[in-house]
Amino acid sequence: MSRETSRRLGAVGLGMVFLWAAVAKLFDVSDFIDTIGGYGLVWEPLLGLAAWGLIVVELIIAAALLIGRDWAPRMASVLVLVFLVVLGYGIALGLDVECGCFGSEEGSGLSPWQAVGVDCGLLVVCCCLQWPKTDNAKTGEELQS
């Protein structure tokens, strides 16, 4: 399998994860709003805006990954890093809040530590997708000449 094929498959897989996360939240936005509120980081009157904004951003990133935009892995990395910071905050404070990553359907909730594991995996994929497309490394013989 070529490097470009691997890159496309990774981007499509990552895009599907973001699409799944966004669509799952759409099935119960009010529960997602409650989940965001459980972290205590967003002023209560802005919880709805934050929830809808996050869903829209996830949908945009998903679409961009699926159609192969170069900036999409960087934006996905930023969003995953934000998720990791928020999860770390919740863990540090001992909050009893599900991550809300993939909606609120029965069995879809992840513990904070499980969500950290998933997010770290997603971050690895994001980083791999940002690896330079060309191989600029020189061999030892090329460096000596």
At 53-77, the pLDDT tens digits run 999 999 999 999 999 999 999 999 9
How much is the pLDDT for 132? 78
Per-residue pLDDT averaged across 85-97, rounded? 93
Q: What is the mean pLDDT of the chain?
A: 90
How much is the pLDDT for 126? 97
More confident residue, 97 or 134: 97
All residues at 6 or more sequence positions from 126 whose CB lies less than 8 Å from its CB, including other chains: 14, 73, 74, 76, 77, 80
Per-residue pLDDT averaged across 118-133, rounded? 92
44 phi/psi in degrees, rounded to 5: -50, -45
pTM for this prediction: 0.86
How much is the pLDDT for 135? 60
At 6-42, the pLDDT tens digits run 999 999 999 999 999 999 999 999 999 999 999 999 9
| Number of other residues whose CB lies within 10 A of the CB of residue 48 | 16
Domain ranges of the chain: 3-133
pLDDT of residue 143 exceeding 60: no
At 36-54, the pLDDT tens digits run 999 999 999 999 999 999 9
Nearest-angstrom CA–CA distance, 26 and 99: 15
